[in-house]
Amino acid sequence: MKSLTFPTLVTFFIVVSTLSSCSKFFDGVVQEIEFPEHTPRIVPTLIVNDEAERIIALVSSSASTLDSEGPQVIEDAVLTISNESEILYSMDENNLFDGLYILELDDKLGMLEGPITLRVESPSFDEVSSTSTMPDKPVYTVDFQESADTINNVWGFDILDRYTFNIETTSPSSKHFIIKFYMKYIDLYTEEISDWETMYSYPSFDPRITLNYFINGVMIYEESNSSSATSLNDLAINIQRYSEYFTIVERKVVVEAISDDLFKYYMSLERIASVDFQLFSEPTLSYSNVSGGFGCFGLGSVTETIIE
Amino acid sequence: MTLTQKLIKNFTLIFTMLLSLNTSFSQSNFTISGHVQDSSSGEQLLGATVWCENISIGVAANIYGFYSLTLPAGKHIIMARYIGYEPQRFEVDLSSSVKMEINLVAGTTLGEAVVTGDAFNKIEDVVQMSKMEIPIDQVKRLPAIGGEVDLLKVLQLLPGVQSGGEGTSGLYVRGGSPDQNLMLLDGVPLYSVNHLFGFFSVFNADAVKSMSITKGGFPARFGGRLSSILEIHMKDGHMKEYHADATVSIIASKLTVEGPIVKDKASFMISSRRTYLDILIKPIIARANNNNPDVTTDPRYYFYDLNGKLNWKISDKDRIYLSAFTGKDDFGIASSNNIGNSSSNLDFGLDWKNSIQALRWNHEWGPRLFSNLTSTHSKYQFNTGMDVLDISQDQDTIRMAALYTSGIEDIAARIDFDFAPNANHYVRFGANFTNHTFTPGATAIDIDFGSSNLIDTIMGPDDIKSNEAFIYGEDEFEIGDRLKINLGLHASVLSVEDTAYYSLQPRVAMNFRLPKGYALKTSYARMAQYVNLLTNEGTGLPTDLWVPSTARIRPQQSWQIAVGLAKTYGEIEVSLEGYYKGMDGLLSYKEGASFLFSTDSDWQDKVTQGIGNAYGTELLVQKKHGRTTGWIGYTLSWSNRQFDEINSGNWYPFTYDRRHDISFVITHDFTDKWTGSAVWIYGTGRALTLNESTFSAYVPDGESNSGVYSFSLEVPSEKNSFRMSPYHRLDLSLTRTKNYENSSKHLIFSIYNAYNNLNPFFALTDEDDNGNPVIREYGIFPMIPSIAWRYSF
């Protein structure tokens, strides 16, 4: 009998424990993780280029992940944009429209010289600021080649138009660029000419060219440690030839030189987007050049070219 | 003359000198040499000690069971010992060098193997520190999940060795990552040791003779990894009789067969293991599919491994071993959907497999010089893919298939020499050459529309080849009665992409005997590592990629210093060690980067290198003999990382930084029939990164940036600044053994997580009862009882 004691006890223990554990593991929850108190901060986003006819800023407060209300627009913020000697532009609650601070300009913004500082203050928060520099206008040539290539797809194949750029990188302030592609076409039904519509480029294996879905364009940069870095010459970008389906009447490329901070901000957004789609990737933080740690103040300068 | 030619020339010169020393030696000293082996099976007893009682000097047998002890002429009392075996005392009268095979008799229980008096090889006698061995018999008696004994999970119970998470087999040794462990199966490196997504390791305990792990104070003969050396040796095979061992558990079945090919000359051992979940659920799936034969779903998962070894004693001086291992995991799901003449078929699969082969030749050049020549092949491959086939009513077919492959293949040769010129010196030296071929992730895409093949291409980085070589030399010697030193140098070189990396790695270990039987030990070791595992921390999936050091990716390097105290109190060994390890060249994905299905041509753009450190204290109290055996381990440790492109360049805790780690392991033989064991572990919660806050932002939108596209962004915390709840668990096991004249039966009950603690496995954002967001930890493993049956003859 003595030798039966152990198996009997073990069997009894297993049965009782199994039954008692079922409910506990049904939900599988161990416990909730306690978060530290979050102190809300001003988060400004203001991105503008020299061709802009309005300045748009979004000023929100940061919120804890556990805050069910989420981030809120700060409605009593005062924004100033200044150079080293004077305030150039300012906005306050009178400029608030649909959650955005908007300042309509009499003319285009034009080139801003020297360091430009954005300051944002609100009675309920600590002031934040950021300083950036507007890069020189981009200088480039573009060569357009219609029906330059084809690529297979599941329905057959696409015909590709090719834009080949040579961008000057001699200016120390112009190292990073965005290129966007637009077209005007004749609507098949109304036979009216459309407004400028975005054209989307095909992915490229050129390490200097990165598609960025946030900005509807491509980012161009020469990464110094890239294995195949050369320069910003012979940048070939392919666009589907939409003229198969309707008549394009005009094409336009917009090349924008962007500040270093703005480049890092856009790249971080692209990384965050990729994290959402790629399993097991490391968490990532959006870039910020604002003293509070969140948000971005970015400047750009634009050169447009109409493709004949 | 190239550097390699110079090394070969110097190496040959040293070897010739030693050979002459080996044969012309002082006539007042003679050498007793041979092998220490199991008397019944002929199995070599590696690490067995041979001790001369009258002059108190001794040696330990090397990993092939060979020993060489040089003594003055005259009569001597020799004592040979090994854990689990009856000690053997005999007298020799040396008037010339003699060869003597020592056959030890296994004790019927561990309790009979009593070590008393001034036994050699006590923890305070050996120079080597930070090395731990657990007898396989003891491993087999510990509780196991699903009744399946796992060697790596047992190693995780030792101080300084931590697990990656609930149920996983990954080893994190003294703040290092899993790729920093050199896992040698019969001397061949294994690159993936996981079955079932890490819940089991590939090591089948029934096929294993011994295992040990070295966490620091690395002797010069080892190199190529920063954090640990895990040595696992397969059984050689019984030289005299046929034996079999069969185990049936709820997860897998195992069968091991061994026996002589030519009695006392050649033997074999073959061991296989396979899970059978796929076979068991097949009738259930078939029944479920029968309800609707047009729609079928067929999931599958199994793993198997196969170990084999041949052992041929060609002559008294020559022995050949042929070892092989292959193992595979196959996971997938196939489904089909038929409507009329049309059908849609999908097959998703994920598999990974390992295979190694090793051919070794032992040769005794004389009583004092022993060599082992090894040639090895090791291959690891991971595949995942999907195949979709649609057939329309008109019998038009569309097929789309993608297959992602990655892996590593090594071909290597190695020569090792053991030279014992006298009782005070034991010299080891040797060389190694390895050719690596890396496949760092290629994606094959095949798309067919009926007769037209639209896309049939392979995208991804090219294979990379590299050559790695090293030479080493070490001498273990005594200065006076109290100081033992192991001094060595390991020199390695890597040639890759027209770039060469050189590394000189000094190794020093010292043992200073203090009064009252205490030993003060200290060690210093520099290490270099030329292969890297790219992994997303915490997943432990086989999607991890092996990549080499290249012209752009510098090798990983470390230096480690350790200081410790050791003493044996009766049958209980106690060691206390402190260590500090600095690491450089650590490799990690950049933030936001991932590798799976990447078609980028250069993976090196996605990674970044940084530095790290780890430091802490480890306490081990271990009882290896008697009816009650086990250990208590405690680790207090810190481990940190710094990468310029991660966490804004700030230092952060490594994911497996664990402040406290405690383990209690006990096994007790109640009677000859009943054996019980218990394991309790506690560890500080794993570090993790969570999204801490959120804010609104925008990017310009529309032509001329006249509008905006706004969105919310989440802000991760400082990397790894949160902690999961502490982990603790009790496992119990009870074994009933019935011994017959020539066989035995074992019935093994075990309970994993006996007090049913829900340990955290992952954390997710959720909502509480009021709809407010909360972060919750989830556990997956409740108490798991299991039963296994084992029969051996």
**Which positions in chain B touch A69 (Cβ < 8 Å)?**
none
Considering only CB atoms, B773 lies closest to which of A6, A68, A283, namely A68
The predicted structure's pLDDT at residue B436: 94
What residues of chain B, 532 to 551, have a C-beta less than 8 Å from chain A?
A: 536-537, 539, 541, 543
Q: DSSP character for A70?
A: -
* Between B456 and B646, the higher pLDDT residue: B646
**Which positions in chain A touch B440 (Cβ < 8 Å)?**
none
CA distance B176 to chain A (A): 19
The string of DSSP letters for B551-568 reads SSSPPEEEEEEEEEEEEE
Taking CA–CA distances from B691, the nearest residue in chain A reads A65
Tell how far CA B346 is from the center of its chain: 36
Mutate to test the interface with B, among A5, A21, A30 (most CBs of B within 10 A): A30
Considering only CB atoms, A62 lies closest to which of B455, B601, B693, namely B693
- Residue-level length of chain A: 308
Confidence of residue A207 (pLDDT cuts 50, 70, 90): confident
Considering only CB atoms, A45 lies closest to which of B698, B725, B778, namely B698
Considering only CB atoms, B773 lies closest to which of A66, A100, A226, namely A66
Tokens at A203, concatenated: 């992915």
Considering only CB atoms, B703 lies closest to which of A29, A182, A272, namely A182
Q: Is B783–A18 a contact, with Cβ atoms under 8 angstroms apart?
A: yes
SS (H, E, C) B248-288: EECCEEEEEEEEEEECCCEEEEEEEEEECHHHHHHHHHHHH
Choose the weakest-confidence range: A225-229, A272-276, B564-568: A225-229
The predicted structure's pLDDT at residue A5: 64
B593 touches chain A (CB under 8 A): yes
Specify whether the CB–CB gap between B547 and B438 falls below 8 A: yes
State which amino acid sits at residue B533. L
Mutate to test the interface with B, among A14, A47, A59 (most CBs of B within 10 A): A14
Q: Is A278–B541 a contact, with Cβ atoms under 8 angstroms apart?
A: no
- DSSP reduced 3-state for A21: helix
The predicted structure's pLDDT at residue B621: 95
State which amino acid sits at residue B418. D
Distance CA B627, CA B676 (A): 11
The predicted structure's pLDDT at residue B598: 52
Tokens at B355, concatenated: 């295979």
- DSSP reduced 3-state for A178: strand
B787 touches chain A (CB under 8 A): no
The predicted structure's pLDDT at residue B452: 60
The predicted structure's pLDDT at residue B577: 95
Domain ranges within chain A, ordered by starting residue: 42-133, 140-258
Considering only CB atoms, B772 lies closest to which of A54, A68, A294, namely A68
CA distance A170 to chain B (A): 25
SS (H, E, C) B175-235: CCCHHHEEEEECCEECCCCEEHHHCEECCCHHHEEEEEEECCCCCCCCCCCCCEEEEEEEC
Choose the weakest-confidence range: A10-19, B119-128, B636-645, B726-735: A10-19
Q: Which of A300, A294, A227 is nearest to A260 (CA)?
A: A300
Q: Is B751–A296 a contact, with Cβ atoms under 8 angstroms apart?
A: no
**Which positions in chain A touch B779 (Cβ < 8 Å)?**
25, 28-30
CA distance B146 to chain A (A): 14
- Given a cut of 50, whether residue B507 has pLDDT beyond it is yes
- Domain B3-112 matching CATH 2.60.40.10: the answer reads no
- DSSP reduced 3-state for B57: strand
The predicted structure's pLDDT at residue B648: 79
B205-255 per-position pLDDT tens digit: 888 988 999 999 999 999 999 999 999 999 999 998 899 999 888 788 899
**Which positions in chain A touch B782 (Cβ < 8 Å)?**
21-22, 24-25
Q: Is A10–B734 a contact, with Cβ atoms under 8 angstroms apart?
A: yes
Please provide the average confidence, as pLDDT, over all residues in chain B: 84
- Count, in order, helices (H) and strands (E) of chain A: 2, 19
The predicted structure's pLDDT at residue B537: 55
Choose the weakest-confidence range: B81-85, B111-115, B530-534: B111-115
A44-78 per-position pLDDT tens digit: 999 999 999 999 999 999 998 888 888 999 999 99
Helices (H), chain A: 5-27, 260-277
Confidence of residue A231 (pLDDT cuts 50, 70, 90): low
B453 touches chain A (CB under 8 A): no
B459 touches chain A (CB under 8 A): no
**Residue B263, phi then psi, degrees to nearest 5:** -55, 130
Q: What angle do CA B699, A264, B705 make, to 5 degrees?
A: 25
Pairing of strands B29-38, B102-104: parallel
Tokens at B759, concatenated: 């340990």
Q: Is A281–B646 a contact, with Cβ atoms under 8 angstroms apart?
A: no
- Given a cut of 80, whether residue B650 has pLDDT beyond it is yes
**Which positions in chain A touch B704 (Cβ < 8 Å)?**
51-53
Q: Summarize the confidence of residues B600-614 as an average pLDDT.
A: 82
- Given a cut of 60, whether residue B629 has pLDDT beyond it is yes
Distance CA B48, CA B55 (A): 19
Residue B77's contacts (CB-CB under 8 Å, 6 or more residues apart) are: B52, B53, B54, B89, B90, B91
Considering only CB atoms, A28 lies closest to which of B591, B693, B778, namely B778
Q: Which of B746, B733, B758, B749 is nearest to B787 (CA)?
A: B749
Considering only CB atoms, A282 lies closest to which of B592, B698, B754, namely B592
Tokens at A10, concatenated: 């073990």
Q: Is B712–A70 a contact, with Cβ atoms under 8 angstroms apart?
A: yes
B758 touches chain A (CB under 8 A): yes
Residue A185's contacts (CB-CB under 8 Å, 6 or more residues apart) are: A193, A194, A197, A242, A243, A246, A247, A248, A249
- Given a cut of 60, whether residue A29 has pLDDT beyond it is yes
Reported ipTM: the value is 0.82
Taking CA–CA distances from B646, the nearest residue in chain A reads A284
Tell me the helix, strand and coil percentages in chain B, rounded to 5. Answer: 10, 60, 30
Mutate to test the interface with B, among A34, A66, A125, A230 (most CBs of B within 10 A): A66
Q: Summarize the confidence of residues B749-771 as an average pLDDT.
A: 82
Choose the weakest-confidence range: A107-111, B15-19, B92-96, B772-776: B15-19
The predicted structure's pLDDT at residue A282: 58
Residue B401's contacts (CB-CB under 8 Å, 6 or more residues apart) are: B385, B386, B387, B388, B444, B445, B446, B447
CA distance A243 to chain B (A): 20
**Which positions in chain A touch B671 (Cβ < 8 Å)?**
3
- Given a cut of 60, whether residue A280 has pLDDT beyond it is no
Percent of the residues in chain B that have a pLDDT greater than 90, as a whole number: 36
Domain A42-133, CATH homologous superfamily name and number: Immunoglobulins (2.60.40.10)
Interface contacts A/B by beta carbons within 8 Å: 239
Q: Is B705–A52 a contact, with Cβ atoms under 8 angstroms apart?
A: yes
Taking CA–CA distances from B673, the nearest residue in chain A reads A3
Confidence of residue B320 (pLDDT cuts 50, 70, 90): very high
The predicted structure's pLDDT at residue B21: 52
Fold of B131-686+724-792: Maltoporin; Chain A (2.40.170)
- Given a cut of 80, whether residue A162 has pLDDT beyond it is yes
- Given a cut of 80, whether residue A307 has pLDDT beyond it is yes
Confidence of residue A112 (pLDDT cuts 50, 70, 90): very high
Q: Scanning the structure block, which residue is given the tokens 């603790």?
A: B728
Considering only CB atoms, A58 lies closest to which of B537, B693, B710, namely B710
Domain ranges within chain B, ordered by starting residue: 3-112, 131-686+724-792
B384-428 per-position pLDDT tens digit: 888 888 877 776 777 788 888 888 999 999 999 999 888 788 999
Choose the weakest-confidence range: A295-304, B138-147, B515-524, B713-722: B138-147
Confidence of residue B600 (pLDDT cuts 50, 70, 90): low
A130-146 per-position pLDDT tens digit: 999 999 999 999 999 98
The predicted structure's pLDDT at residue B304: 92
**Which positions in chain A touch B698 (Cβ < 8 Å)?**
45, 47, 56, 58
The predicted structure's pLDDT at residue B115: 38
> What would you measure as the largest C-alpha separation in chain A, in angstroms?
101
The predicted structure's pLDDT at residue B121: 66
CA distance A264 to chain B (A): 12
